[in-house]
Amino acid sequence: MRILTLCIIGAVLVSCKQPKKEATTEGVTTEKPSEEKENFTIVFASCNDQNREQPLWKPILENKPDVFIWGGDNVYADTADMVKMKADYDKVLANSDYKKLTEATTVIGTWDDHDYGKNDAGVEWEKKAEAQQVLLDFLNVPQNDSLRKQEGVYYTQKYETAKGNVKVILLDTRTFRDSLKKSTVEGWRFEPWKEGEGGTVLGDTQWAWLEAQLNDTDADFTLIVSSIQFLAYEHGWEKWGNFPLEVKRMEKVLANAKAKNILMVSGDRHLGEFSVKNIPGLSYPLVDFTTSGLTHTYPESPDTPNEYRQGKIIKDLNFGVLQFDFNANKVTMELRGKENTILESLVQQY
């Protein structure tokens, strides 16, 4: 398997396995390591149909993640009935292998549209407040957590180890996102708004919060979780590229950020790929690591162009593994599938 290497600086870390803790969005997670190991490992995954076979939990467990992140479409609920939505989440919780994962590691996450309650929905969805509570129940967020009262599911977690730390910023690309522009292009569902048209992806409050989070200089690495792709724009589905001014705003925010070693992960597309772009003002290439889906992909679908793609498209069932090496100041990213096979990989050297 080909490993692609990118560039830049140096830092410090070796990480450790963290014991399981109750999910929370408040403050820093600092735990004594129970077992020293070379890297801090995060597994990221998305697009999990609760009514399909779920064959990837065992290989995910084999990677012994310190954190597991849901990237959205955690279930396919597509409903305004919260009783039905809870029952869909309960099917995942009842899976014996997923139970083992929740017992072994910390689980956090955000949502996309199908677990939001309606396909492609945004700010207009009338059941978003109720759906938020059901998601937080699934993630085992305490009832007294501030996220229970906040509009939207954006939050951060910082994971401290004996040798370094990783900050995870989870975005909400649903609660505040304005309407999409339906496309007249054959095979496309949506197309980009012209600059000056359209609206926002994150909304003013979340944008201000994100900028503040990216002023944090304490983290050795900063991982931004977006349910939809940020860099890939040459397809007719949901993406940041449907809102060109929001893309420009994000690039400016990243270029001005004080946070170190930023990278992104995304889901939604029912395929896996690495996208890499040199952002003006950012001293290292930005990676958008897409991994999707856990239970279903569409191998027969035509390949879409992506000028930022590194390596090949993966259309097998897949999940993402990120290994943060603080001694070498690099992140090793792997798309893995059934039998824990490495399907594609990339190394980002900072």
Q: What is the pLDDT of residues 96-143, one digit of tens each?
A: 999 999 999 999 999 999 999 999 999 999 999 999 999 999 999 999
Banded model confidence at residue 33, pLDDT cuts 50, 70, 90: very low
Residue 240 inside a domain? The answer is yes
Length of the chain: 350
How many folded domains does the chain comprise?
1
Check whether 289 has a pLDDT greater than 90.
yes
**Residue 37 pLDDT:** 59
**Residue 63 pLDDT:** 98
Q: Give the Cβ contact number of residue 301 at 10 Å.
A: 12
pTM to 2 decimals? 0.92
Residue 148 inside a domain? The answer is yes
Residue 162 inside a domain? The answer is yes
Q: Give the Cβ contact number of residue 130 at 10 Å.
A: 14
Residue 215 inside a domain? The answer is yes
Torsion of CA 47, 52, 57, 60, to 10 degrees: -40
Residue 310 inside a domain? The answer is yes
Residue 24 inside a domain? The answer is no
Banded model confidence at residue 219, pLDDT cuts 50, 70, 90: very high
End-to-end CA separation in angstroms for the chain = 22
**Residue 252 pLDDT:** 98
Q: In angstroms, what is the C-alpha Rg of the chain?
A: 19
Q: What are the Cα distances from residue 191, in Å, to 119, 185, 201, 205, 237?
A: 16, 8, 15, 26, 8
Residue 54 inside a domain? The answer is yes
Amino acid at site 14: V
CATH of the domain at 217: 3.60.21.70
Averaged pLDDT of the chain: 92
Banded model confidence at residue 196, pLDDT cuts 50, 70, 90: confident
Domain containing 160 equals 39-349
Beta strands in the chain (DSSP E): 3-5, 16-17, 28-30, 35-36, 40-45, 67-70, 106-109, 155-160, 165-170, 181-182, 190-191, 221-225, 262-266, 272-277, 286-290, 309-314, 319-325, 330-336, 342-349
